[in-house]
Chain A
Amino acid sequence: MAKKEIDDRFKKFGTVSFTAITKTNDFIDYLANGKVMGSRCKNCGAVYFPPRSDCSSCLTSSMEWFEVTGNGKLLSFSELKYGPVGFEGDLPYIIALLDYGDYKVFGRISADLGYEDLQVGMMLKTEANVLPNGQLNYIFARP
């Protein structure tokens, strides 16, 4: 009997992924193709980032993908001088939150931008990114 194939695409997400199996695994294929995607409920229109497979507004499970495009406003950020296990090689790095109006996106600031270049309220765009170890994530860069 053939071994059952396991869809563990999500283990590609981030410097270290802690999740392998999720119904939102297609997020990774989009990311590999340069697209950062959120999800929208086909029934009630609720918009989610990070994407979800189930809607907590109307409790249905019929979602469609939408692409995170354009610029978001930088709400806050922090530069880490110490990282968790597995992230030592990335240090120092900056995590941040962008506001897109209907939703917010949490992620990393592009390595070309330093702490001193950042200011709460400035506009940045979200881009798919390949990490040095071959893993995938997304970063915030100058528009």
Chain B
Amino acid sequence: MKKVGIIGVGQSNFVRGYPGSIRELAFEGFKEAMGDAKIQTQDIDASIIASAPEYDKQRSPAGVVAEYLGLIPQPTFYIESVCSSSSTALKVAYSMIMAGLHDVVAVVGFQKMSEISSNESQERMGRGADIQWESPFGTMMPAYYAMYAQAHMAKYGTTPEDLARIRVKAASYGQINEKAVYRKPVTMDMFSDPENNMSADVARPLRVGDCCANADGSSCIIVASEEKAKAIHDKPVWILGIGAASEAVNMAGREMLTGLRVGIEAGRQAYEMAGITAKDIDVAEVHDCFTIAEMMAYENLGFAKPGEGKDLIASKETYKDGSIPVNVDGGLLSKGHPIGATGGSQIRTIVLQLREEAGEMQVKNPEIGLVHNIGGVGLYGNVTILGR
């Protein structure tokens, strides 16, 4: 079977209050990816633009962004699966290339979360769930993930301290990632200090320190057919497996509260397509919008058995020098989570790791990497496996 390669990756700095418009923000990630691929805009056959539309004032952003990037008259369109929009867009780009429709496709993810007020943003996040039956109770993203945390704690004895360890790890790498929005250190003491904001309740049992930061940002992944990828880049990274799944939007429709079924299913598909198992993964980026989400990802992807995620983080196996390094770029917790750009940023991190260009964050000699990107509260799941 023919392959699809990644020939360019880029992302903007993830920041609070980006001082520009969405098209200018998208340009930053795109420019870096184009510099990586060393190609011209006319070499790109099509573009896919990804964001979460509830934050955009611009209707149908694809055309506006594509024009600003110099990608007209080539085809462009918009893809959305909330926080996993750019991973879904990557899957579509992969399909278009495998189908022989195009040779080179740019996936551009962006989100300017500061386009609307923080209050408006919270109201919209609540409406990411079922607006007819659940939002009228006053739901929010942290509270949904807190329900998963509560169930995980009840079943497996996981503690708030186990979750805090994940934030401490994230911050240790966020400090050295110059593109991260949160660059300060976080210690376990902050979580046990009632005066420290990190320990303040948001949606019990989750605290401020368990939650990722909103940010403005963009990312870009340029993919190409096997032939083109080899011709364009001296170190193309290959897409070995892609999996995706969906789940009931209602909590009432969910069979599992101690893990995300979409993560398990998307992972199963991606492992099967790549012909590997969890043991073969050398470095991973998982969707840590909340600490509990990373804990569940360990278990759902097979890095730990169900209920043993806490042991994996306690023994520091997911640190850079551990057996399965996870989110060694700071994750969403420190890097920030600009919804539509997040998946592309995760892909970029793994591509740089596999090319051994991750600088201080570099894991030793990785050959296979995994990206786990979730949309909504386990509503959409995407797992992508990459190899050198």
Knowing A75-B257, A76-B150 are in contact, say whether A81-B201 is a contact too (CB < 8 A): yes
B139 contacts across to A, CB distance below 8 A? 84, 95
CB distance from A140 to the nearest CB of B (A): 11
Knowing A78-B205, A84-B122, A85-B119 are in contact, say whether A15-B143 is a contact too (CB < 8 A): no
A82 on the interface (CB 8 Å rule)? yes
- Indicate if the CB atoms of A107 and B151 lie closer than 8 Å: no
B20 on the interface (CB 8 Å rule)? no
- Indicate if the CB atoms of A14 and B137 lie closer than 8 Å: yes
Interface hits, B129-157 → A, CB 8 Å: 130-140, 142-144, 146-151, 154-155
By beta carbon, the residue of chain B nearest A27 is: B133
B257 contacts across to A, CB distance below 8 A? 75-76, 97
Interface centre among B123, B148, B150, B250 (most CB of A within 10 A): B150
A106 on the interface (CB 8 Å rule)? yes
- Indicate if the CB atoms of A15 and B147 lie closer than 8 Å: no
B190 contacts across to A, CB distance below 8 A? none
CB distance from A92 to the nearest CB of B (A): 9
Knowing A75-B257, A90-B138 are in contact, say whether A49-B151 is a contact too (CB < 8 A): no
CB distance from A76 to the nearest CB of B (A): 4
A82 contacts across to B, CB distance below 8 A? 122, 140, 142, 202-203
By beta carbon, the residue of chain A nearest B144 is: A78
A35 on the interface (CB 8 Å rule)? no
By beta carbon, the residue of chain A nearest B125 is: A84
B120 on the interface (CB 8 Å rule)? yes
Q: Is the interface of B mostly helix, strand, loop or mixed?
A: helix
Interface centre among A13, A79, A108 (most CB of B within 10 A): A79
A111 on the interface (CB 8 Å rule)? no
Interface size class of B (residues with CB under 8 A): 35 or more
- Indicate if the CB atoms of A15 and B138 lie closer than 8 Å: yes
A62 on the interface (CB 8 Å rule)? no
Knowing A13-B136, A79-B203 are in contact, say whether A95-B143 is a contact too (CB < 8 A): yes
B201 contacts across to A, CB distance below 8 A? 79, 81
By beta carbon, the residue of chain B nearest A139 is: B137
CA distance A14 to B132 in the complex (A): 10
By beta carbon, the residue of chain B nearest A77 is: B150
- Indicate if the CB atoms of B132 and A50 lie closer than 8 Å: yes
Interface centre among B119, B136, B144 (most CB of A within 10 A): B136
CA distance A81 to B205 in the complex (A): 11
By beta carbon, the residue of chain B nearest A49 is: B252
- B137's partner among A10, A75, A120, A137 (CB-CB below 8 A) is A137
- Indicate if the CB atoms of A17 and B140 lie closer than 8 Å: no
B203 contacts across to A, CB distance below 8 A? 78-82
- B252's partner among A18, A50, A108, A120 (CB-CB below 8 A) is A50
A115 on the interface (CB 8 Å rule)? yes
- Indicate if the CB atoms of B131 and A104 lie closer than 8 Å: no
- Indicate if the CB atoms of B251 and A137 lie closer than 8 Å: no
CA distance A73 to B217 in the complex (A): 42
- Indicate if the CB atoms of A104 and B143 lie closer than 8 Å: no
A83 on the interface (CB 8 Å rule)? yes
CA distance A105 to B144 in the complex (A): 14
CB distance from A65 to the nearest CB of B (A): 15
Interface centre among A15, A78, A83, A105 (most CB of B within 10 A): A78
By beta carbon, the residue of chain B nearest A86 is: B123
By beta carbon, the residue of chain A nearest B120 is: A85
- Indicate if the CB atoms of B143 and A115 lie closer than 8 Å: no
For the complex of A and B, the 4 pairs showing the least CB-CB separation, nearest first, are A14-B136, A78-B146, A120-B154, A87-B138
What residues of chain A have their CB less than 8 Å away from a CB belonging to chain B? 10, 13-19, 22, 49-50, 75-87, 90, 93, 95-97, 103-108, 115, 119-121, 137
**A and B contact pairs by CB, cutoff 8 A, 23 listed:** A18-B127, A18-B132, A22-B132, A75-B257, A77-B150, A78-B149, A78-B205, A80-B140, A81-B200, A81-B202, A81-B203, A82-B122, A82-B142, A84-B140, A85-B120, A86-B123, A97-B252, A104-B253, A108-B137, A108-B138, A120-B154, A120-B155, A137-B137
